[in-house]
Structure 1
Amino acid sequence: MVQREIYEHFHPDEKSFVDRASEWVERAADRHETKRTDFLDPRQAHILFTLANRNPDVQVRLDGGSEQAERKKAIVAPDYKTLEDEDMGIVVLDISSDDRRISELDHGDYLGALLGLGIKRDKIGDLHVSEEGCHALIAQEIGDFLIGHMKQAHRIDVIVSIRPLTALREVISKLEEQVISVASMRLDGVASDVFRLSRTKIVAPIKAGRCRVSWKPVEDPSHPLKAGDVVSMKGFGRFKVLDVEGVSKSGRIRVRIGKFV
Structure 2
Amino acid sequence: MSIYQHFRPEEKEFIDQVLNWQSFVKDNYAPRLSDFLDPREQFIVQSIIGGENDCKVSFFGGNEHAERKRAFLYPEYIEPSQEDFQCTLFEIEYPDKFIHLTHPQILGSLMGLGLRRGKFGDILLDEKRIQFLAASEVTDYIKLHFHTVGKTTIALAEKSLDDLIGSQEEYQEIQATVSSMRLDTILASITKISRQKAVSLIQSGTVKVNWRLVEQPSFVVQQGDLISARGYGRIKILLIGDQTKKEKWRITVGKLK
Question: Normalising to structure 2: TM-score of the pair?
Answer: 0.74
Tell me the distance in 2 between the aligned counterparts of 1:65 and 1:85: 9
Matched pairs, number: 232
Partner of 1:61, secondary structure, is strand
Cα pair distance change 1:30/1:185, threshold 3 Å: closer
Partner of 2:156, secondary structure, is strand
Q: Give the partner amino acid of 1:100.
A: K
TM-aligned CA deviation for residue 33 of structure 1: 2.4
Pairing partner for 1:152 from 148, 151, 156: 148
TM-aligned CA deviation for residue 201 of structure 1: 5.4
Question: Any unmatched runs of 5+ in structure 1?
Answer: 177-182, 243-255
Aligned to 2:52: 55
Pairing partner for 2:234 from 213, 236, 239: 239
Contact 1:99-1:156 at 8 Å conserved across structures: no
1:215-250: CA deviation from partner (whole Å, max 9, x where unpaired)? 7996651357799974125x77742279xxxxxxxx
1:187-228: CA deviation from partner (whole Å, max 9, x where unpaired)? 33636949x96834522649xxx7316x79966513577999
TM-aligned CA deviation for residue 10 of structure 1: 1.0
Superposition RMSD on alpha carbons, in Å?
A: 3.8
Question: Any unmatched runs of 5+ in structure 2?
Answer: 173-178, 238-252
TM-aligned CA deviation for residue 166 of structure 1: 1.6
Aligned to 1:16: 13
Please list, as runs of the form range in 1=range in 2, the aligned pairs for 1:3-152 lying within 5 A after superposition: 5-84=2-81, 86-102=83-99, 104-152=100-148
1:202 paired with 2:198, answer no
Tell me the distance in 2 between the aligned counterparts of 1:139 and 1:159: 18
Cα pair distance change 1:12/1:237, threshold 3 Å: farther
Cα pair distance change 1:54/1:30, threshold 3 Å: farther
Tell me the distance in 2 between the aligned counterparts of 1:18 and 1:161: 36
Partner of 1:56, secondary structure, is coil
**4+ residue runs over 6 A deviation:** 215-219, 224-229
Partner of 1:50, secondary structure, is helix
Aligned to 1:163: 159
Q: Give the partner amino acid of 1:203.
A: Q
Question: Normalising to structure 1: TM-score of the pair?
Answer: 0.73
